[in-house]
Amino acid sequence: MSMQSFAARTGDRIAGSLAYGVIGLGLAFLAIPLVITCVMAFDARTYLGPMPPPALSLHWFERLVSQADILASLRTSLILAVLTTVLSVTIGTAAAVGLARGNFPGKAALTSAFLSPLIVPPVVIGFGLLLFLSKAGITNGMARLLLGHVIITLPYCIRTSLASLLGSDQRLTEAAMILGATERQAFWTITLPLMRTGVVTGAIFAFAISMDDVSISLFLSDPSATTLPVTLVSNMRAAFDLTIAAAAVVLIAVTALLIVVLDRVVGFDTVVGQGLFRS
Amino acid sequence: MTKVRRQPVAISIPDRRDAALTLGPALLVFAFGFLSPLINLAIESLKEFTPGRVGSVENAAATVQNYYELANQAFASVLLTTFWIGGVAAIIGQLVAFPLAYFIVRRISPRMRTLTLGFLITLVLSSVLIKTYAIELTFGSVGIFRPFLLTLGLSPNSREYINIVVIAGLVHSIIPVATLTLIGAMQSIDPRLLDAAQSLGAPGWKAHLSITLPLSFPALISSTLVSLTFAISAFVIPMVLGRGRVLFMSNVIYTRFSDIANYPSGAAISLVMLAAALAVVAVITFAQARRVSQ
């Protein structure tokens, strides 16, 4: 074995272990806080003590469901997320069809305009909406929240629907029409089913984003309509106890459920391949 | 099966009614819920603030006073904090995401790949609140990382300790998004190039340095900037983990709104923040345009 290849191997070994070390530490850093939160949610102590808990119990969960403000805001959040998803998906899918099929000047500009709420900081959107809606005389909390949530979820729905529409084979629609389908029939039986992946992905993102948002909801919530994250944030700032850990476990479970649906219906590779994230 | 991307053909929507039907609702929402509020924000930022009043007076005089007031040391330090903490978090995120993305693309079985991707997507989709709370539990008064930071000589109430916790919070959100962004670029690198370099005698680390890194460099740049955009518009993470001592621009906007009801000043900061975000996006677009032209 020559000196050179020995040096090369040593270099490789060092570089390799360095890379694996970083990956291992990185994954541990991502997972450990979530694991701690889940374990601590079952802590039998009535105060916030160090890890690990000496005994397990469900009492933090009982406390969670006995808090009226949390239950009320959970209800608001769920209703809001469902309404947001339905509206965003409907408007977004229609817009994607219009953008993909329409032949008009300024199409590219319109597409980027529709996606632009993604690059504006959420706090700016929330604050801007608050000022504008107050001026416009719209004071209903639920209506304000709904508009705010549709604004931030619509770009995702448009983007995913548009991607799957452009990725699917247009000739299938042409074929249907050559075979005598009307434009409407071709849309409902061919085009829309082909867009399914994008529509479902968009819906899951819209639901998750709506359930999660704090930055916008904090500005638009009022006593009659407060979302769960807003209630949790104010609890978190007031007193740091473990009912929030219990709430986190519930929310993680909901997210995991969404992820399983996403994988079954769409597949992770499609999601990653479409590049769903801001850029 | 090869994917052929075709331009949409002209069996398109024939009349304007259908275009209005498909694009109309989105246009309406966009104009009413996004464009008008932003324009209104710009106008509000030029209004004079009357202390003790909620919002500006109806016909208040136009003034640049609100911007002028931002040119002080307090706001400069907020701007600086936002950018340097955000920048550090963005870079640490890439240092982990880059090898992780390569590992997912080239080094693991399909089963492990699905599992890892599922974990990362779960993190992306799960609430920022949960992640923030989890970081607080891990680094806070009972957290398992606390003794570690204490042995480094950091007092729990020191500015450094709080900075580290805020950075940890941001990095926790940045790694999954950056990894998923980089995976796309890594997938399009031909693995045979690496084999070729190695069979021509380059050691593995050198081959990565001269093949993998340059080929994914544009993606790495845009991933860094996307992470930076995320970090500088962060709100909940600095608010909860910063304990009022680390303030980002968005936190100051919220304070202007909730504590002193100085809406014109909040609007001015919003526009500064919007300009900062747009500047970062402009750099991304420029970098991507150069990549295409090369």
Which tens digits make up the pLDDT trace of A204-217?
889 988 988 888 99
Residue of A nearest to B110 (CA): A269
From residue A60, alpha-carbon distances to A46, A73, A212, A228, A236 in Å are 8, 18, 21, 17, 15
**DSSP line for B130-188:** HHHHHHHHHHSTT-TTHHHHHHTT--TTSHHHHHHHHHHHHHHHHHHHHHHHHHHHHHT
* pLDDT score recorded for residue A154: 93
Q: Which residue has the higher pLDDT, A56 or B272?
A: B272
Overall average pLDDT of the A186-204 stretch: 83
Residue A114 has pLDDT above 80, yes or no: yes
Residue of A nearest to B120 (CA): A30
CB–CB of A113 and B19 under 8 A?
no
Overall average pLDDT of the A9-31 stretch: 84
Mutation pick from B12, B112, B117, B129 vs chain A, by most beta carbons of A within 10 Å, is B129
Helix ranges (H only) for chain A are 3-40, 59-66, 68-101, 107-115, 122-136, 141-167, 170-178, 183-186, 192-194, 196-212, 217-220, 228-238, 243-265, 268-273
What residues of A are in contact with residue B9 (Cβ under 8 Å)?
Answer: 170, 174
> Which residues of chain B from 4 to 33 reach within 8 Å of chain A, CB to CB?
4-6, 8-14, 18-19, 21-23, 25-26, 29-30, 32-33
Q: Which residue has the higher pLDDT, A104 or A160?
A: A160
Whether residue B205 lies within 8 A of chain A, CB to CB, comes out as yes
**Band of the pLDDT at A275, cuts 50, 70, 90?**
very low
* pLDDT score recorded for residue A265: 77
Torsion of CA B259, B260, B262, B265, to 10 degrees: -70
* pLDDT score recorded for residue B103: 86
Overall average pLDDT of the B127-133 stretch: 87
Residue A235 has pLDDT above 90, yes or no: no
**Band of the pLDDT at A5, cuts 50, 70, 90?**
low
Give the tokens for residue A187: 């849309």
* pLDDT score recorded for residue B1: 42
* pLDDT score recorded for residue A8: 66
**3-class DSSP state of B203:** coil
Pairs of residues, one from chain A and one from chain B, whose beta carbons lie less than 8 Å apart: 300
Residue of A nearest to B250 (CA): A123
Please tell me whether the peptide bond between A52 and the residue prior to it is cis, using omega within 30 degrees of 0: yes
Overall average pLDDT of the B120-145 stretch: 84
The one-letter code for the residue type at B33 is: G
Residue B91 has pLDDT above 60, yes or no: yes
Which secondary-structure segment (H or E) carries B275?
Answer: helix B263-293
Q: Which residue has the higher pLDDT, A239 or A33?
A: A33
* pLDDT score recorded for residue A278: 37
> Which residues of chain B from 130 to 189 reach within 8 Å of chain A, CB to CB?
130-131, 133-138, 140-144, 168, 171-172, 175-177, 180-181, 183-184
Length of chain B: 294
* pLDDT score recorded for residue A2: 58
CB A160 within 8 A of CB A198: yes
Least confident interval from A7-21, A60-74, B221-235 = A7-21
**Band of the pLDDT at B10, cuts 50, 70, 90?**
very low
Residue B139 has pLDDT above 60, yes or no: yes
Q: Residue B71 CB: number of other CB atoms within 10 A?
A: 8
- Helix, strand, coil fractions of chain B, as percent rounded to 5: 75, 0, 25
CB–CB of A102 and B266 under 8 A?
no
* pLDDT score recorded for residue A272: 63
Overall average pLDDT of the A71-95 stretch: 92
**3-class DSSP state of A152:** helix
Least confident interval from A161-165, A182-186, A270-274, B160-164 = A270-274
* pLDDT score recorded for residue B189: 73
* pLDDT score recorded for residue A43: 77
Residue B61 has pLDDT above 70, yes or no: no
- Which of A278, A126, A109, A89 is closest to A202 using CA atoms? A89
Instruction: Tell me how far apart the alpha carbons of residues B73 and A152 are, in angstroms, rounded to a whole number.
Output: 33
* pLDDT score recorded for residue A3: 58
> Which residues of chain B from 182 to 201 reach within 8 Å of chain A, CB to CB?
183-184
Q: What is the CA radius of gyration of chain B?
A: 24
* pLDDT score recorded for residue A71: 86
Mutation pick from B7, B22, B230 vs chain A, by most beta carbons of A within 10 Å, is B22
- Nearest CA distance, B195 vs chain A (angstrom): 15
Given B29, B38, B127, which is nearest A91 (Cβ)?
B29
CB–CB of B254 and A218 under 8 A?
yes
Phi, psi of A43 (to 5 degrees): -65, 130
Which residue(s) pair with A225 in the sheet?
Answer: A222
Instruction: Tell me how far apart the alpha carbons of residues A42 and B251 are, in angstroms, rounded to a whole number.
Output: 33
Mean pLDDT for all residues in chain B? 80
> Which residues of chain B from 68 to 107 reach within 8 Å of chain A, CB to CB?
95-97, 99-100, 102-103
CB A123 within 8 A of CB A215: yes
* pLDDT score recorded for residue B52: 56
The one-letter code for the residue type at A56 is: L
What residues of B are in contact with residue A279 (Cβ under 8 Å)?
Answer: 181, 222, 226, 284
**Band of the pLDDT at A141, cuts 50, 70, 90?**
confident
